[in-house]
Amino acid sequence: MNVFIVYAHPSEDSFTRRVRDRFIAGLESAGHRHTVSDLYRMNFRTDMSEEEYLREACYRLEAPVPEDVRLEQEKINRSDGIVFIYPVFWSDVPAKLKGWFDRVWTYGFAYGLQKDGRRSMKQLEKGLVICSAGNTMDYFRETGILKSMERTMLDDRLYDRVKTKELVILEATSRENSSREENWDSRLDRVFSLAVKFFE
Ligand SMILES: Cc1cc2nc3c(=O)[nH]c(=O)nc-3n(C[C@H](O)[C@H](O)[C@H](O)COP(=O)(O)O)c2cc1C
């Protein structure tokens, strides 16, 4: 499979960076090809321009899609699967990734034109969301935040744009957590296995 990885973390000195590298190692060991968009490294612009807003809000649908957005859309349409790797920030994706959705999921690409509902985005076979988080799974379940993240990422952002999808949280991975280092290898082994098995 061709797998497109959308990665968003501001620092290479992070657990999440290791997740990215281990995931790529898993893909390679299973013989998959991959492309990475490292949004902070690319300095991907995440604020919408007024022109983009007017296009997305159907004031001026004839406005062109910006080149950096078009390149991301091409990467999607050349892929069979998509993976998002990021740290949970305030119970959601970092603003960098939120802005990627705002700009890349354009009208006519990711959602339909009112008259015929057609979209030019390819329907992807598989989508995987892997996020690292300071809190525990128990906390995410008890507070309803897990459900909220699944609804937002899987049911809304990925929706029917991806056929098979899953969200995985690597819990209790923030630096102040003393057990972070103890759990490190098992978390990364899980990431490697996911890369091998999910895209079979
Ligand atoms: C601005 C900010 C907001 C965060 N918000 C959350 C949060 O809402 N829930 C949570 O579990 N962890 C939260 N965290 C913790 C990160 O998810 C955690 O530090 C990261 O996943 C793992 O560490 P890494 O940066 O070494 O990859 C937040 C961290 C930062 C910097």
Lowest mean pLDDT, pick from 2-16, 96-110, 163-177 = 163-177
How does residue 70 score in pLDDT terms, banded at 50, 70 and 90? Answer: very high
pLDDT of 114 strictly over 60: no
pLDDT of 100 strictly over 70: yes
Q: Specify the CATH number for the domain of residue 81.
A: 3.40.50.360
Ligand 1 pocket member 183 (CB < 6 A): no
pLDDT of 117 strictly over 90: no
How does residue 115 score in pLDDT terms, banded at 50, 70 and 90? Answer: low
Determine the angle formed by the axes of helices 15-29 and 180-197, rounding to 10 degrees. Answer: 30
Mean pLDDT of all residues belonging to the chain: 94
Average pLDDT over residues 105-125: 85
**Distance from the alpha carbon of residue 131 to the mean position of ligand 1, in angstroms:** 9
pLDDT at 85 (0 to 100) = 98
Give the residue, out of 174, 177, 179, with the most ligand 1 atoms within 8 A of its beta carbon, to mutate for a pocket test: 174
Average pLDDT over residues 12-31: 96
Domain count, the chain: 1
pLDDT at 6 (0 to 100) = 98
Q: How far, in Å, are 60, 70, 106 from residue 137 at the CA level?
A: 44, 37, 33
How does residue 2 score in pLDDT terms, banded at 50, 70 and 90? Answer: very high
Residue span of the structural domain in which 50 resides: 2-197
Ligand 1 pocket member 195 (CB < 6 A): no
Q: How far, in Å, are 24, 38, 138, 172, 185 from residue 143 at the CA level?
A: 32, 31, 8, 16, 27
pLDDT at 50 (0 to 100) = 97
Q: CA end-to-end span of the chain, whole Å?
A: 8
Note whether 19 and 85 are within 8 A (CB). yes
pLDDT digits (tens, 9 = 90+) for 36-61: 999 999 999 999 999 999 999 989 98
pLDDT of 98 strictly over 90: yes
